[in-house]
A and B are shown apart, each in its own frame.
Chain A
Amino acid sequence: MTYNLKQNLEREERLCGGHRMCAGCGSPIAIRTVLRQLEPEDKAVITGATSCMEVSTFMYPYTAWKDSFIHNAFENAAATCSGVETAYRVLRKRGKVDGRYKFITFGGDGGTYDIGFQSLSGAMERGHDMVYVCYDNEAYMNTGIQRSSSTPWFADTTTTPVGKAVPGKPQKKKDLTRIMASHGIPYVAQTAFTKDFQDISVKSHKAIYTQGAAFLNVLAPCPRGWRYPTEKLMEVTRLAVESCVWPLYEVCEGVYKLTYMPKKKLPVEEYLKMQGRFAHLFRPGNEWMIQAIQEEVDRNWEELLHLCGEACSAEKR
């Protein structure tokens, strides 16, 4: 697919404006971008896990979704979508459905990494022709910024408050993208909307039009939970990628491929310092936490380079 931002933006928006998501939130941008990669002639059924996105876009009697949409519960979006997709296959066989349908599910990290993980794993293992998109904002934002297994190490959340005894979240972030790759499904990718949106757009198109189960993990910053100024959404996303905190890669039929190599890997401070949830890391005496995060990011990055068949940073130097 040759990608052109201008042409891509000329496509019809399938999530229309007027929904109630916050200014500076990454998830509607991620969702609109994914949906723009549907070929205009294709119809779609969208499934949404209970989340900010769901309650903000589908409040009776209004819906922001131009395609058919189903919300079922928090933990079962993948299973629900697999039911819709299966119905489609049977009804098409029986001559009861017209046109080509695509099946896309959206869930936050809570509904994907945590409570919806079993349902997701089941649906992916069964190989339904669907795409599960996690918009990862790294905590339960809808209920008020509680930690999830996606919340990064040391982050301040309302259930891992920075206290005198415990300095934020004691655990590291779960690496869901690699767990999904281990399912052996045809397509898995980790992406974010940066620059001209090519990375997320190309991967979304691949995910939607790859036969079988596909999983996309999209970084979707949250200004309330991460505490960055709303106008800094693109900047915080860019720094996540440039610091290798959130590397961009894909796993196509089991083959890892890095899709973006930062020219100069930025230190994690650059990313951390613009977010209130990490403010305590910059207090005197807490340097060790930044150091620990840097070491963790470096280790994960080297491991990913190895998986992608890239020379590790040290060899390059």
Chain B
Amino acid sequence: MGIRERLSGNEAIAYAMKQIDPDVMGAFPITPSTEIPQYFSSYVDNGEVNTEFIAVESEHSALSTCIGAQAAGARAVSATSSCGLIYMAEMLYVAASNRLPITLAVSCRALSGPININNDHSDAMSVRDCGWLMLFAETNQEAYDNYLQAMRIGEAVGLPIMICQDGFITSHAIENIELVEDDKVKAFVGEYTPQHTLLKNPMAVGPYATPVYYIESKRQQAQAMIDAKRVVRAVADEFARMTGRQYDLLESYRMEDAERAIVIMGSSAGTAKQAVDELRELGEKVGLIKIRCFRPFPAEELAQALRNTLAFGVMDKADSFNAHCGPIYAETAAALYAQGVGAPKGISYIYGLGGRDVRVESIKRVFSDLEEISRTGETGETYRYLDVRE
């Protein structure tokens, strides 16, 4: 039986880090993830962990130190948000290419400009193609649980991993949480014993690769991401055996006979579930699919889950500014097309940018749109902003 506590999402991540006791943390403050290195450095300074904390001068250096440390055979971690994450972008690619399973906690926040410190997914979505594994949490509990599973997944496939949660909404809100006992965490996460490191036999990392070799290295990265799907599930199953909390690539909520569905990621899934419940009370056949694992993208699973719906809305807390849809919508549509699922009508909703509140009523409006579309067969504009003053 776990330990009952009340923690904010940032605190939960810092606590998970403490239980894991990684070797090196390189971090730089940025709202709303700042608390993570803040809590963690108090663990360091009180001798509660053996980790070396490197208080760097930028996020770029934070990830650079992690790359050096992980290549040297250490478990390296960091935490960031928003502009900090995209300032790391160049190094995100290098970490993935060097196949270094660094763990990065992301408390998602909008990007400048205008400058805004509140939640959306513009930061995480802007680095979605860097080659990192990405898990998203709906609640503080999920953020904590995902973090405990992160290193097992990343180290198994040799890819770095981001554990994303919603800035302020879960990062700062205090919720009831069930923690896993320290010894169980240690046993679950295990030791990091890479075969090659800078501090074993001489090893060279980060070469210049000519066209003769470059594409093969990318193909290997692609394969690691493909292989990760199986690993994410296997680690989730093992975690469920330890805690009773079962995770998957995505969560289907009341989708059994759903004619209308929304696809959503992060904390707003909780609000949306409430909307689903209330509409179900009224006899409406509505459901929800929550993406937990965004990288690798659960394309087949998502297509299967949407197969029998008449209409669906994809909720994106970031815009691609491509004049037609948000990033999750684009991937969802591609997944459906690849699977030969052409029947449901899909709408791309951009919502919640810069911390715009998302209420049960907001989600109900989406379902109402979807009802009209499924009844009339007319989609109208497929690229829509939710709850915006026009």
Asked if residues B207 and A119 are in contact (CB atoms below 8 Å), the reply is no
Most chain-B CB neighbours within 10 Å: which of A66, A81, A82, A123? A82
Asked if residues B74 and A87 are in contact (CB atoms below 8 Å), the reply is yes
Asked if residues A79 and B198 are in contact (CB atoms below 8 Å), the reply is no
Q: How far is the CA of A86 from the CA of B53 in the complex (A)?
A: 9
Q: Which residues of A contact B (CB under 8 A)?
A: 43, 45, 47, 54-55, 58-61, 63, 65-73, 75-76, 79-91, 93-94, 96-97, 101, 118-119, 121-123, 125-126
B51 contacts the other chain (Cβ, under 8 Å)? Answer: yes
CB closest chain-A residue, reference B58: A118
Asked if residues B198 and A90 are in contact (CB atoms below 8 Å), the reply is no
B60 contacts the other chain (Cβ, under 8 Å)? Answer: yes
Asked if residues B207 and A83 are in contact (CB atoms below 8 Å), the reply is no
Asked if residues B91 and A87 are in contact (CB atoms below 8 Å), the reply is no
Q: Which of B63-71, B288-296, B304-312, B382-390 is the interface stretch?
A: B63-71
Q: Mark B202-217, 1 if CB is under 8 A from A, else 0.
A: 1111111110010000
Contact for A87 among B50, B57, B61, B73, CB less than 8 A: B73
B90 contacts the other chain (Cβ, under 8 Å)? Answer: yes
Query: Within residues 14 to 62 of chain B, which ones have a CB less than 8 A from any CB in chain A?
Result: 23-24, 26, 50-52, 54-58, 60-61
CB closest chain-A residue, reference B22: A90
A172 to chain B, nearest CB (A): 26
B76 contacts the other chain (Cβ, under 8 Å)? Answer: yes
Given A70-B68, A83-B69, A94-B50, the answer on whether A122 and B208 have CB atoms closer than 8 Å is no
Given A90-B24, A126-B54, the answer on whether A80 and B213 have CB atoms closer than 8 Å is no
How many of B's residues come within 8 Å of A, CB to CB?
40
Asked if residues B54 and A45 are in contact (CB atoms below 8 Å), the reply is no
Q: Which residues of B contact A (CB under 8 A)?
A: 23-24, 26, 50-52, 54-58, 60-61, 64-74, 76, 90-91, 94, 198-199, 202-210, 213
CB closest chain-A residue, reference B213: A60
Asked if residues A61 and B74 are in contact (CB atoms below 8 Å), the reply is no
Asked if residues A63 and B50 are in contact (CB atoms below 8 Å), the reply is no
Contact for B65 among A66, A83, A91, CB less than 8 A: A83
Q: How far is the CA of A76 from the CA of B207 in the complex (A)?
A: 15
Beyond A47-B68, A72-B94, 17 additional pairs, beta carbon < 8 A: A45-B198, A69-B202, A70-B198, A70-B204, A73-B94, A75-B60, A76-B64, A79-B26, A82-B56, A83-B67, A84-B69, A85-B68, A86-B52, A87-B23, A88-B72, A91-B23, A93-B50
Given A90-B51, A122-B56, the answer on whether A60 and B205 have CB atoms closer than 8 Å is no
A63 to chain B, nearest CB (A): 4
Q: Could you say which residues of chain B place their CB within 8 Å of the CB of A71?
A: 205-208
Q: Could you say which residues of chain A place their CB within 8 Å of the CB of B60?
A: 75-76, 79, 119
CB closest chain-B residue, reference A48: B206
Instruction: Write 12 A-B pairs (CB below 8 A) sorted by A numbering.
Output: A59-B209, A61-B207, A67-B202, A70-B206, A72-B94, A75-B60, A79-B26, A81-B68, A83-B67, A84-B72, A87-B74, A119-B58
Q: Could you say which residues of chain A place their CB within 8 Å of the CB of B90?
A: 73
Q: How far is the CA of A71 from the CA of B204 in the complex (A)?
A: 8
Asked if residues A83 and B54 are in contact (CB atoms below 8 Å), the reply is yes
